[in-house]
Structure 1
Amino acid sequence: MNVFTFTGLPTESDATKAYREYDRNGQDWTECSDWAVGKFASVELQLSPGDRFDKFGALEEVRRRLVKMVGPAAAAEAIRDHEKAAQAARAEVGGRPGTWVNDDGTAHVYKRKVKAKAGDEATVADPHEDALMERVFGYSEVTRHVLDQARARQIGPWAALFLALGQAALLTPWWVRLPAIVGGRPASLNTITALVGLSGGGKSNSTGGGGILRWEVDPLTLEGASLHEGEDQCPRRILTPQTVGSGEAISTLFRDRRLVVPEPDENGKTGKAVSTQVLIRRAAWIDFAEVDHFLSLIRKDGSSLSPELRKFTDGAALGVHTKSTDRRSFIDAFTYRGIATVSVQPARAGIILEGADGGLPQRFVWVATDDPNATADGHRRPALAIRLPSWGTPEADEDDEPAVYVHVDDSVRRQVVADRIKALRREDGALVGLDSHRNLVRLKLAAAVAVLHGRTSVTELEWDLAEGLMEHSDRVRAGVQNTLRSSWAEEQRRRGAGDAAREEGKAAAREAAIRKAADSITAWMERQDGPVTPGQIAASGKSGSPRRVYRDEALALLVDEGVIRKISGDDVDRYALVAEQKS
């Protein structure tokens, strides 16, 4: 392995990737990469020697590899140097030793849902906190209606609201964009949402919608650049979830090859149908209702699902340009609208968070599907009519493409720019790591809030409500991370207990074999005439027999028990039965 040099405290992303590798290799560190072994060993070295819990053997494996590479003395020195650096870095950052840090290198603060005692102050990270619920669902008649009718239908209110916002974005014309506030590229309204809940927790019910809202699309908006453009597009299908079997398949939701019959010629004759790419739809909802389906696709060797989903949420060009025209499929940037939903059980979300290096989990909105305050007393009311705003007629942008931009107030723009500067400078509190896309996701939610209320501008009101939505998302994601950490710790405790039990079993089996060897040696010596040498004892047994394998241990046991005595000689020791007192 490379020299075991300290390069920084291991992060949450490091933890996920290293443990995945450990798990893939049958939890055998000898089969893992130097990188993965080194990360776990570095966590151990944050602790003082008396507090270490090297149940997995990572530190021991590092020592073994270093000894093989540079020798015992240099290996010990490398580990000591790493230990000092790791402990110093942890002391500087703060937090609990022997743990990972945030992806930005700051100490991780474990937020827990707690009940505060009288007079005590407690950090509450409950995604269903009353104050947060009031801040978000008390915003307007629409949000209050969603809360009331979600509970009347036994649907998680947060999931119902986030899906309503997603559908509002989905029904927004594909040529509507967010302005380029940082960088030179505009942004799409497309989103990806993780519906988080336990098995049977209402994830599938959430995507059904339950008839809470009824959408009324402005007819003028549909004129010219229609939402319904495409041979398979109609209002009902826009809100019908689709599924895909690969990343490449996402582009085929919008454009795909079809047999097209040419227009009749001047003689009224038509030629043979030819395969060509045609526009199918402008808007699509991708839904992964089963997390196992999503995980199986994203885990495949060479899978393009993660990069294609990232491009999908960015509104970037989708598809691949293959050598074979028959398999070629693509759609240009900002010529489609889409949302994606993934139903996730907290303990199965590790594969999503593992993609932090690529930027996938940063683009997710995390939403709870449960409702601790659910009741059976609600009264169902008819769906509330939502009149979507008119976006006017799109004008050609610099690329000669139709475009209308959501208006964003200057105060919101200033905050986005200020946060971006903090991130570039890596200042304290900067939005980095898993929060690196937070403001963009927040701006998308703010735009969806505006659309849900019939508006086309993001003001301080929408921006503030979007912060409440992001606070819920942050708390749900933190809960998922805590679940993964707890599952990981419990698994390691279980494996440690299993290892101990296996070691106990091995020890018991070894003791039984030594006992068998001792009994066998005693019986053989009773048939001999006088003291015998260890070589004679070994020669008397079959190859691989306990008498040969455990000869020395068996002789020591018999001496301790007083069955035989050791007769020391100049050349070789001999053994005799005590009862016979032979010399």
Structure 2
Amino acid sequence: MTNLFDADQVRQALTTLHGGSAGFIHICSTGGWTGGTFTTDTSGLNAAVDYVRGLDAKGKAGIYARVTTLSRPLNPGERGAADLSLAFPGFWTDLDIAGPGHKTSAPLPPNVEEARRIVAESGLPEPTLLIHSGGGLYSWHLLDEPHLITPDTIAVISALSERFQQIVKASAERLGYEYGPVGDLPRVLRIPGTVNRKTKDPRPCFIMEGASGTTYPLAELAPLIFGIPLPEPKTPPAPAAALPFTQPRPVRDAEDGLSPGDDYNARATWDEILINRLGWTKLYTRSGVTYWRHPNATSDVSATTGRNDGDNLWVFSTNTQFEPQRVYDKFGAYTLLTRGSTSPAAFSGAGKELYAQGYGARRDRDDPRDLIVPAVEGNLALATVHQLHPEPQRPMPPAGLTPPVLPEEFWAARPMFGQIRQAAHSRLIAPDGVFGAVLARAAVRIDYRIMLRAIVGRPQPLNVFVALGGLSGGGKGASLDTASELLPFTNVDGHHIREISAGSGEGIVKKFFTRAEKKDDEGRGGGMEWQQTIHGILVRVDEGSMFGPLMKRQGQTTTETLRQAWSGERLGGSYADEDRGQQLAPHTYRLCVLLGIQPEIAGFLFDDTFGGLPQRFLWLAVQAPEMPDLDAIPAYPGRLDWAPPAVDLRGSDRLFVGVGELNRQFVDVAPEVEHEIRVAHLAQVTGRAAADPLDGHANLSRLKVAAILGALDGRIAVSVEDWALAGMVMATSTAVRRWMQARVKATEAESRKARNIAHVEREVMAEDAKANARVVRMAKRAHKYVGQILDAGEKATYRAVNRKFGGTEKDGVNAAIDHALEMDWIRRDGEAFALGESVPR
């Protein structure tokens, strides 16, 4: 019997779907389904191919790979639920084709062509990859890069996958075929190169030709998937306005001062809303998150409550009274179900209804108004209810143009923060950008011998990198200049500072050194040598557009130097002679970076995610949604009254760094903070918590920020309050970074679209040129054929001329004759043709 197994196809398929992705590939087969897990690097792929080869040698009826990678290897007997999914490569279909192996009476497409037609007429773009499963068709719409699934995004990805399947199902039904949705994240599909042995005649599973090969950004594909309409459900839910709703419980004491919405949120329960009146099913609760299913559900989970320690309803299903991909608090759900809308007017009306029932009567105003403020986090449109005060509300900025900013409670926490904000407002620039620049300048001024002790890992310096992101003209340079006025550099004994612009790695290191006379132990001169005279350097880059080309230059060492400098590692080449360069020993310097950058050009930073550079940056915005009115601009408050705490090396700790022992003073960190850091680190190391690669240094960055905030408060210590304030900074940094990434992806998508359009236009022009040349050639031959027919004494009818052209040219005869007539190479003579006045050259 011919061996149908193809190891090359197995390798190609696994590499295409999961090669280099985060997590572990899961291979399984009939007769057990638990299988084995493998890493996604070359050695792991080799091992996976060998494992598949072994399963084939055992004659397994089917050998499969999971569509998503796993966040950890499976335990014996474990198959891996959805919550273990880590990397999502794209969207798939599993279309059965009529024939042996399918135990169903439902109508199935009779052949591959009809199965492909289901996908082609669904409204989805061309598939990236087509696979014949030996009994059906798999199509893949692969993402341009796998999407990392987190506890916060699994619901969104699941909802997208479910809707993708519903789109294919609807297309199949329009064509008269049956399709069962298979969008669950633990789904396994047969591996190309293996053999389908479900029937007595083994059939190969193989990669087909004819697919587009195009991959798609999730940011482009997701709106398309949600934009394709689906047919109305066969049993539509009752109109929202007609649904009964739980009546409010007895009125709380009005002295609370709560609004009706706040009071309802505090006292209503999701069981009352979802179970008692809507008939939903509570499936289970895990890690504080409750999973729900509605009566018309086509999948297991329709929504969750309790995610991210909140008391909101996260809706994924497209077949409920609620809008999909939305988050509702209880008052928002109440408003939708009783008013049929979540418009501002509906919120106001719902609030008045609850007021009439005595809910939370406020003493300070009689006619409260409500506003729904949309915000965007990942792929979810969040809605939160904000109570308005009587003063006019500022209009919301256009979606996506304004990045997240530090919260009001941060600015109110300490007088120095208020002074920084006042300085920014006096210059009409964003406070966050000025604060970020002050933070970096303060870090440079703190003596390099002050360090963080090894709470986890190794000791760390207070070296920080700050990226100030904003649109063109947002005030990046002005933020840096204002910070330098607020906190100018001053040198102290043992810690000299300078500010430089970006350069190569060797160039940055060289700025710590000057040429000086070399002296022996007795003070006698002996030539010149490089000596470290600078201990703190601030690398200032006003425009990231200058930094990008430098980082991409072949052979550059800038990114490597910056990554090492953030951790205080040895800097400089392996050489260190008087002519070629210098070396900085570990922890003998302070190096900080201030980078102003526009989101549209920040892609080069995120390109180094796996190298580790972007996760070392603190991200803050140089734009602000709230600024004082022009008639209320404050005066510039003057310099900050601050000097860094003096280093005290008496009785200091000793740090061994491989070049001897160094005297160092370690920052005193509150025990509660140390415990929190260790607990989080242990969860990550043991695999109990999965982190975004860009959050790999989040707690260390937060500790550095907390230590600098402590120093700004006059202490070489981190208090619980410092840690909490640093948490606000890091939360804002994460939000700004995601905003930057979204802008980068949007810009890249536009660039790809423009390139694609230009490519298509070039192709069309080329095809037009080819077609035109073909028409001209055939028109000349039409003139020739008319002459030949007339010379033979026959009538040059259309049929006679047409017969002269070959079979592959028939589609171009009409255009050729029209062109020949236009050029007067031939002319009409009744129902036939005659030669014209012109002769083709």
In 1: Cα distance, 2:19 partner to 2:123 partner: 18
**Which residue of the other structure, out of 474, 493, 499, is the alignment partner of 1:201?**
474
User: 2:461 is matched with which residue?
Assistant: 188
User: 2:420 is matched with which residue?
Assistant: 146
SS, match of residue 407 in structure 2: helix
In 1: Cα distance, 2:148 partner to 2:664 partner: 50
In 2: Cα distance, 1:520 partner to 1:295 partner: 56
SS, match of residue 468 in structure 2: strand
Query: Is residue 4 from structure 1 mapped to residue 13 from structure 2 by the alignment?
Result: yes
User: 1:464 is matched with which residue?
Assistant: 724
Per the alignment, do residues 324 and 140 of structure 1 end up closer, same or farther by CA in structure 2, a change over 3 Å counting?
closer
Larger CA deviation: 138-147 vs 505-514: 505-514
Counterpart residue type for residue 699 of structure 2: N
1:391 is displaced (CA, Å) by 3.5
Counterpart residue type for residue 405 of structure 1: F
User: 1:252 is matched with which residue?
Assistant: 510
**Which residue of the other structure, out of 381, 388, 405, is the alignment partner of 2:644?**
388
Per the alignment, do residues 153 and 437 of structure 1 end up closer, same or farther by CA in structure 2, a change over 3 Å counting?
same
Q: Deviation per CA, 1:500-558, whole angstroms, max 9, x where unpaired? A: 433443443344334323321221122215699xxxxxxxxxxxxxxx9x965555443
Counterpart residue type for residue 378 of structure 1: P
In 1: Cα distance, 2:471 partner to 2:833 partner: 73
SS, match of residue 715 in structure 2: coil
In 2: Cα distance, 1:51 partner to 1:9 partner: 29
User: 2:447 is matched with which residue?
Assistant: 173
Counterpart residue type for residue 550 of structure 2: L
In 2: Cα distance, 1:509 partner to 1:214 partner: 66
Counterpart residue type for residue 564 of structure 2: K
Query: 8 Å contact 1:149–1:212 — kept in the other structure?
Result: no
Query: 8 Å contact 2:529–2:578 — kept in the other structure?
Result: no
Show the 5 A alignment for 1:122-161.
Answer: 122-124=374-376, 132-161=406-435
Show the 5 A alignment for 1:141-540.
Answer: 141-183=415-457, 185-209=458-482, 213=486, 226-228=493-495, 233=496, 238=497, 240-256=498-514, 258-260=515-517, 262=519, 274-322=527-575, 326-375=579-628, 376=630, 377-394=633-650, 395-399=652-656, 400-428=661-689, 430-529=690-789
Larger CA deviation: 119-128 vs 79-88: 79-88
Per the alignment, do residues 363 and 459 of structure 1 end up closer, same or farther by CA in structure 2, a change over 3 Å counting?
same
Query: 8 Å contact 1:284–1:339 — kept in the other structure?
Result: yes
Per the alignment, do residues 152 and 227 of structure 1 end up closer, same or farther by CA in structure 2, a change over 3 Å counting?
farther
In 2: Cα distance, 1:431 partner to 1:76 partner: 35
Query: 8 Å contact 1:43–1:100 — kept in the other structure?
Result: no
Counterpart residue type for residue 125 of structure 2: F
Q: Deviation per CA, 1:159-211, whole angstroms, max 9, x where unpaired? A: 1112212222211111100111112x111100111121222221111111356
1:213 is displaced (CA, Å) by 3.2
In 1: Cα distance, 2:136 partner to 2:581 partner: 53
1:301 is displaced (CA, Å) by 1.2
Counterpart residue type for residue 461 of structure 1: E
SS, match of residue 479 in structure 1: helix
1:278 is displaced (CA, Å) by 0.7
Counterpart residue type for residue 649 of structure 2: T
Q: Deviation per CA, 1:5-29, whole angstroms, max 9, x where unpaired? A: 25539879xxxxxxxxxxxxxxxxx
Counterpart residue type for residue 274 of structure 1: G
Per the alignment, do residues 506 and 198 of structure 1 end up closer, same or farther by CA in structure 2, a change over 3 Å counting?
same
Per the alignment, do residues 154 and 277 of structure 1 end up closer, same or farther by CA in structure 2, a change over 3 Å counting?
same
Show the 5 A alignment for 1:70-81.
Answer: none
Q: Whose strand proportion is higher, 1 or 2? A: 2
Identity of aligned residues (%): 22
TM-score relative to the length of structure 1: 0.71
1:494 is displaced (CA, Å) by 2.5
* CA RMSD across the alignment: 4.2
Q: Whose helix proportion is higher, 1 or 2? A: 1
User: 1:34 is matched with which residue?
Assistant: none
Query: 8 Å contact 1:165–1:448 — kept in the other structure?
Result: yes
Query: 8 Å contact 2:776–2:816 — kept in the other structure?
Result: no
Query: 8 Å contact 2:779–2:816 — kept in the other structure?
Result: no
Counterpart residue type for residue 344 of structure 1: I
In 1: Cα distance, 2:565 partner to 2:775 partner: 68
In 1: Cα distance, 2:774 partner to 2:568 partner: 71
In 1: Cα distance, 2:716 partner to 2:595 partner: 28
Per the alignment, do residues 483 and 355 of structure 1 end up closer, same or farther by CA in structure 2, a change over 3 Å counting?
same
Per the alignment, do residues 493 and 276 of structure 1 end up closer, same or farther by CA in structure 2, a change over 3 Å counting?
same
SS, match of residue 627 in structure 2: coil
Counterpart residue type for residue 610 of structure 2: D
1:499 is displaced (CA, Å) by 3.6
SS, match of residue 340 in structure 1: strand
Highest RCO, 1 vs 2 (Cα 8 Å, sep ≥ 6): 1
1:323 is displaced (CA, Å) by 8.0
Query: 8 Å contact 1:366–1:473 — kept in the other structure?
Result: yes
**Runs (5+) with no aligned partner, structure 2:** 1-7, 23-87, 94-118, 162-215, 220-315, 317-324, 327-341, 348-371, 378-399, 793-803, 819-829, 835-841
Per the alignment, do residues 181 and 313 of structure 1 end up closer, same or farther by CA in structure 2, a change over 3 Å counting?
same
SS, match of residue 193 in structure 1: strand
1:78 is displaced (CA, Å) by 14
Per the alignment, do residues 89 and 420 of structure 1 end up closer, same or farther by CA in structure 2, a change over 3 Å counting?
closer
Per the alignment, do residues 46 and 100 of structure 1 end up closer, same or farther by CA in structure 2, a change over 3 Å counting?
farther
SS, match of residue 397 in structure 1: strand
SS, match of residue 411 in structure 1: helix
Per the alignment, do residues 520 and 552 of structure 1 end up closer, same or farther by CA in structure 2, a change over 3 Å counting?
farther
Per the alignment, do residues 80 and 193 of structure 1 end up closer, same or farther by CA in structure 2, a change over 3 Å counting?
farther
1:280 is displaced (CA, Å) by 1.8
Q: Deviation per CA, 1:245-272, whole angstroms, max 9, x where unpaired? A: 211222222235x251647989xxx76x
SS, match of residue 335 in structure 1: coil
In 2: Cα distance, 1:513 partner to 1:456 partner: 80
Query: 8 Å contact 2:655–2:664 — kept in the other structure?
Result: no
SS, match of residue 638 in structure 2: coil
1:461 is displaced (CA, Å) by 0.4
In 1: Cα distance, 2:688 partner to 2:373 partner: 28
Q: Deviation per CA, 1:283-339, whole angstroms, max 9, x where unpaired? A: 111112232321122111121111110111111111112286621410111111121
User: 1:53 is matched with which residue?
Assistant: 125
May I ask how many residue pairs the two structures share in their alignment?
475
Per the alignment, do residues 562 and 141 of structure 1 end up closer, same or farther by CA in structure 2, a change over 3 Å counting?
closer
TM-score relative to the length of structure 2: 0.50
Query: Is residue 558 from structure 1 mapped to residue 805 from structure 2 by the alignment?
Result: no
Larger CA deviation: 42-51 vs 155-164: 42-51
In 1: Cα distance, 2:511 partner to 2:677 partner: 33
